[in-house]
Structure 1
Amino acid sequence: MPVDVKICGINEPNSLRAAVDGGARYVGFVFYEPSPRFVPPQQASQLAWQVGTTSRIVGLFVEPSDDFLDEVVTQMPLNMIQLHGDEQPGRVREIREKFSIPLMKAFPVGSAADLDVVPDYEAVADWLLFDARPPKNVASLPGGNGIAFDWQLLAGRSFGRPWMLSGGLNADNLAEAVAATGATTIDVSSGVEDHPGRKSPEKIEALLAAAREAGKSPLPGAALLGLGAADR
């Protein structure tokens, strides 16, 4: 089963080219100023026009105003809006209806209870994203913290929308994460960086190669974990 990849936090041409040329299904631009991956809309627009048609462009926002969303979407083509804050279902619906762009809602996960709210969003979001709940000392950064959550919390679960797995993923643990959760799309940011905000083309290439390998198994990554039919 193929494993699609989103490389998030792109902010310069070399990492963008590595992602697109390597086969990333999605490339993400972060429009949240406290993040070291923040990219101004005008700069993101210049990068976005280099993407071509093989990858889809995602804009990550945290509790954005309509005015800021307008500023971004009028400057660049967005294939998806990602909301990574505390947006409530009503606000998600408003944004989706106003901008007519597919929308993905992120959920911070630290325990099974964090998944209880997911059904409230399935009618208003096109995609779901499960990320690790940020530690208190980096609460201002809702994602990209390089930490994973317990993947078993997603094992055997089904959702009413397609979803992505995020949180602490890299080339070394991708196959294990996919096998544990059944994810068919993963979202990676810090796992392909030399330091926060600076993507490594080499790490992007390695991550995408690992995704291709994981996708060769009927159950992605299962062979690497030694799982047999009885375990599936």
Structure 2
Amino acid sequence: MKTRAKICGVTTPEHALAASKAGADAIGLVFYDPSPRSLDIARAAEIACRVPAFVSVVGLFVNPEASWVREVLARVPLDLLQFHGDEEAAFCGQFGRRWIKAVRVRRREDIEAAFRTYHNASGLLVDAYDPNLFGGTGNGFDWALIPEQRPLPVILAGGLTPANVGRAIEQVRPWAVDVSGGVEHEGPLATKGIKDVSRINEFMREVQRVN
């Protein structure tokens, strides 16, 4: 099975195009103000309009007001919604778009419960738990916690980089992998949210190699 890949937290049209050319199946746009990768609607629309055919545009929200989601959808051509907070399934499903739900993993039971609660989702994104952050931590978690029996497609996130994504795919065999900070510039002067095209290319080469 081919494992797909999403480059999340894209903040420029150039990086959206670079991710698409590298072979990414999707790019993620963040609509959550506390995130350093957050976008306003005008910027998000500009980026989305540069994404080529057959590459999905995913909008990431964290505990949003329904009116905010609808406002974004009215102006940004999103293919898929990603809910990364404490949203209930009924909330996620009200917008007439396919959606995925993120779960921050501490125990295997967290994932098993999410499979049941969000059974109408198009996928379940499993990420590292942090009591203070809704994703984007750059931290991984124990992949052995992911059940073998998966009623929904599993999207693996949390601490992925070009150096470990191949091993992650081989061990977990997820439907997709999701990366943000792992393909950004490194070093003390680096700014979160600024993607590194060379790291995007390296990440996607590893995904394609294992596939």
Please indicate, yes or no, whether the TM-score normalized by the shorter chain is above 0.5. Answer: yes
1:117 pairs with one of 109, 113, 117: 113
The alpha carbon displacement at 1:88 in A equals: 2.1
Aligned counterpart, 1:149? 141
**SS of match in other structure, 2:6:** strand
5+ residue gaps in structure 2?
none
Aligned counterpart, 1:6? 6
**Offset from partner CA, 1:23-48 (integer Å, 9 cap, x none):** 10010000000000001111000110
The yes-or-no answer on 1:104 pairing with 2:100 is yes
Q: Is the 8 A contact 1:128 1:164 kept in 2?
A: yes
Aligned counterpart, 1:78? 78
- 1:11-26 aligned within 5 A: 11-26=11-26
Aligned counterpart, 2:123? 127
Aligned counterpart, 2:49? 49
Range moving further from structure 2, 175-184 or 34-43: 175-184
**Offset from partner CA, 1:24-78 (integer Å, 9 cap, x none):** 0010000000000001111000110110213100000001111101110011111
The alpha carbon displacement at 1:158 in A equals: 2.0
Aligned length: 206
The alpha carbon displacement at 1:16 in A equals: 1.0
Corresponding letter in the other structure for 2:65: S
Inter-partner Cα distance in structure 1 for 2:175 and 2:112: 22
Inter-partner Cα distance in structure 1 for 2:98 and 2:154: 13
**SS of match in other structure, 2:17:** helix
The alpha carbon displacement at 1:17 in A equals: 1.5
Q: Is the 8 A contact 1:8 1:27 kept in 2?
A: yes
The yes-or-no answer on 1:191 pairing with 2:187 is no
Aligned counterpart, 1:205? 201
The alpha carbon displacement at 1:89 in A equals: 2.7
Aligned counterpart, 1:60? 60
Q: Larger radius of gyration, structure 1 or 2?
A: 1
Structure 1's consecutive aligned runs of 4 or more residues displaced over 6 angstroms after TM superposition are: none
Q: Is the 8 A contact 2:100 2:125 kept in 1?
A: yes
**SS of match in other structure, 2:75:** coil
Aligned counterpart, 1:69? 69
Corresponding letter in the other structure for 2:144: Q
- Percent sequence identity over matched residues? 34
